[in-house]
Amino acid sequence: MDTIYDFQTRTPSGKDLPLSAYRGKAVLLVNTATKCGLAPQFRELEALHQKYKDQGLVILGFPCNQFQNQEPELNETMEQSCEINFGVTFQLSEKIMVNGRETHPLFRFLKDQLPGKLGKRIKWNFTKFLISPEGIPVRRFAPTVKPASMEQYIIEILPDTN
């Protein structure tokens, strides 16, 4: 597997979500949690989504409850909670694991391609991976990196929409 297009996930309602649907788009993948101290980043992620979605940016949130149980929402209520509390309209997946034996295959791939300072582990919620329109992971951002500060890197890889 060489690109994110080889993977799929499910929406919170259980519908298949093949990442090949985002072929040709710049994609920002983020492991999220609604009760995390970094949850205000949802608003910045949504602002990037609104600003660049028509230019080929896709933001995908992957809720994870592995860090101090900071994602207590059920798959069934997660989208509504994110929309009401943070204004989120970008796509979320069902809850997944990002570390350990049951790591989602997509996150295993991302960590292999772009290890962080802790090696091939996700340090905390809101670790972000920027993916080129060819489906290749190009940059990893630490949880504390604010989405707005990533804008220049996103602009560099936006697909040519002309």
In a domain, 113, yes or no: yes
Can you spell out the DSSP letters for 6-58?
A: G-EEE-TTS-EEEGGGGTTSEEEEEEE-TTSTTTTHHHHHHHHHHHHGGGTEE
Question: What is the count of structural domains for the chain?
Answer: 1
Q: Write the CATH number for 49.
A: 3.40.30.10
* Domain limits for position 87: 4-25+42-58+65-155
Q: Would you say residue 162 lies in a domain?
A: no
The answer to the question of residue 77 being in a domain is yes
Q: Would you say residue 115 lies in a domain?
A: yes
pTM of the predicted protein model = 0.92
Per-residue pLDDT of the chain (162 residues; tens, 9 = 90+): 589 999 999 999 899 999 999 999 999 999 998 888 888 899 999 999 999 999 999 999 999 999 888 887 777 877 777 776 777 888 989 999 999 999 999 999 999 998 877 778 899 999 999 999 999 999 999 999 999 999 999 999 998 654
C-beta separation of 86 from 6 below 8 A: no
> Of these residues, 27, 30, 36, 39, which one is catalytic?
36
Q: 37 lies in a domain?
A: no
Measured on CA atoms in the order 32, 29, 42, 80, is the torsion positive or negative?
negative
Task: Please confirm, yes or no, whether 36 is among the known catalytic residues.
Answer: yes
Task: Determine, yes or no, domain membership for 32.
Answer: no
**Does residue 30 sit within a domain?**
no
Token readout for 30 is 């983020």
Q: Is residue 87 part of a domain?
A: yes
Task: Specify the pLDDT at position 161.
Answer: 53
